[in-house]
Amino acid sequence: MTYRDEIVKAMEMLGKDERTLFLGQTVEYPGSQIHSTLEKIANEKKIEVPIMEDVQMGMSIGLSLNGYIPISVYPRFDFLLCATNQLVNHLDKIKELSHGEYNPKVIIRTAVGAKKPLYPGLQHCSDYTEAFKTMLKNVDVVKLEDSKQILPAYRKALEGDRSTLLIEISDKYNTD
């Protein structure tokens, strides 16, 4: 199975959980490779949002505090930077700030943009994995280097009690 096939399988697994919702850009409408990996997810589980990354992360945190497990989709890692305030200063710290009263769980899905067949430019293919590992203390950061990692990593994110940032590599979508 290809890297993309494994992602589709992982999304189907997440979609079967009644607590999950998928929100972000291109979850319901085409526009990125990520959209094609969500085609088997019921539209009732999708919330398409405009380009407002910080608000999207805030919505994801709020949904999580109300019992949902949001899968917050950022088609490019570069776009997730706009949500860093909510991610680092809120999601990562809420459990500590609330003295354990709140423990939101958000599954954040992003991708290092593809550099082939056409180079998209510096603002669409950066990898900030190490920076986020440094900034986040209570959110797991997992870079999906190999297709065999994908399903176990998304399953752990769903079954665990922490938020998780999962980083896909677009250039691998059509490889084993």
Range of the domain at 62: 3-171
Q: Looking at the domain assignment, is residue 107 inside a domain?
A: yes
- Chain segment 90-142, per-residue pLDDT in tens: 999 999 999 999 999 999 999 998 878 777 777 888 999 999 999 999 999 99
Sheet holding 139-143, edge to edge: 46-48, 20-24, 69-74, 107-112, 163-169, 139-143
Q: Looking at the domain assignment, is residue 82 inside a domain?
A: yes
- Chain segment 54-98, per-residue pLDDT in tens: 999 999 999 999 999 999 999 999 999 999 999 999 999 999 999
Q: Looking at the domain assignment, is residue 25 inside a domain?
A: yes
Number of structural domains (the chain) is: 1
CATH of the domain at 38: 3.40.50.970
Q: Looking at the domain assignment, is residue 176 inside a domain?
A: no
Q: Looking at the domain assignment, is residue 141 inside a domain?
A: yes
156 pLDDT band (50/70/90 cuts)? very high
pTM, full prediction = 0.96
